[in-house]
Structure 1
Amino acid sequence: MLGANCCYRRIRFEKSPIGPDRIAVCYKDDYAQDPGFRRGLPATNDFRRLPDPDPESAAPCSG
Structure 2
Amino acid sequence: MFKFLLELSYLIGSITFIIGLKRLSGPDTARKGNLLAAAGMGIAILATILFHQKDGHSIGNIPWIV
Q: Flag whether TM exceeds 0.5 (same fold).
A: no
The structure richer in helix per residue is 2
Say which structure, 1 or 2, has more relative contact order (CA 8 Å, 6+ apart).
2
Normalization by structure 1: what TM-score?
0.24
